[in-house]
Structures are given as C-alpha cells and as structure tokens.
Amino acid sequence: MRLDRIERDEEVLVDVIDCISQPGLNDTSFACRTVDVSETGIKMSSDMSIPVNTIVALRLDLPTQLYRLEAEVRWNQVNGENTLGLLIKKDSQDIGAWSKMFQLDF
C-alpha cells in the first residue's frame, strides 16, 4: 500500500539549476518550507517566486534521513506567499530512499 500525500512542515534547501525564462535565477540558493509531500512531488511555500519549468536541486535533511532530489517546478501560486508544486525527477540521487517513505507494510 502507498500513501498519497503527507502533510509535512520541513525546511528545504533549494538551488536553481536551470531557469530558462529568468536565467539570472540560475545558481540562486534559498530555503523553503514543505507543505506536503508525495512520492512524486512536493508542495512548498517560498519567499521567492520560481517560474514554471525551472529545474531545482533539493536538500531535505530530515531527522532520520538526508534526501538529495532534483525536481521541476510544475505550478506556482501567489496568494500572500508563493506556493510551488514540484515534480520530483525519477533519476534523482536519493529517489529510492525517498520512495520507501511512502510504502506501508501490513
């Protein structure tokens, strides 16, 4: 059995790898907070607006595990704060360990 989404408030360190629409953002690093996470995506709040289709590197240092992932910004909303929807790349460095977090054994 798999969990769909887990509400989680964790700090995420983000590094912009490739932003085609705003190249000045490339190599920008900043911290965000997760809102919820799933096996294939992360919803997070940010002080920065990151354009759709931007590729980012993520570092989530959770109490039990460090996860290094890459993701693409799929959507963003601004309503008082920036909320980003990320699609995690399947070839991310720690995708195997990340996926295990969403598996339940009965």
Question: What CATH number does residue 81 fall under?
Answer: 2.40.10.220
Share of the chain above pLDDT 70, in %: 94
Let me know if residue 45 belongs to a domain. Answer: yes
Number of domains in the chain: 1
Q: What is the dihedral of CA 15, 2, 8, 11, to 10 degrees?
A: -20
Q: Which helix (H) or strand (E) holds 97?
A: helix 95-100
Task: List the domain range (segments joined by +) for residue 94.
Answer: 6-100
Let me know if residue 50 belongs to a domain. Answer: yes
Let me know if residue 63 belongs to a domain. Answer: yes
Give pLDDT, residue 1.
Answer: 40
Q: Where are the beta strands (DSSP E) in 19-64?
A: 29-37, 41-46, 55-62
Q: In this structure, is the dihedral angle defined by the CA atoms of residues 100, 103, 104 and 106, taken in order, positive or negative?
A: negative
Let me know if residue 106 belongs to a domain. Answer: no
- In this prediction, residue 25 has a pLDDT band, given cuts at 50, 70 and 90, of very high
Average per-residue pLDDT for the chain: 91
- In this prediction, residue 105 has a pLDDT band, given cuts at 50, 70 and 90, of low
Let me know if residue 37 belongs to a domain. Answer: yes
Let me know if residue 1 belongs to a domain. Answer: no
CA distances from 32 to 15, 42, 45, 49 (A): 11, 11, 6, 11
Let me know if residue 72 belongs to a domain. Answer: yes
| pLDDT tens, residue by residue, 54-91 | 999 999 998 889 999 999 999 999 887 899 999 999 99
Let me know if residue 70 belongs to a domain. Answer: yes
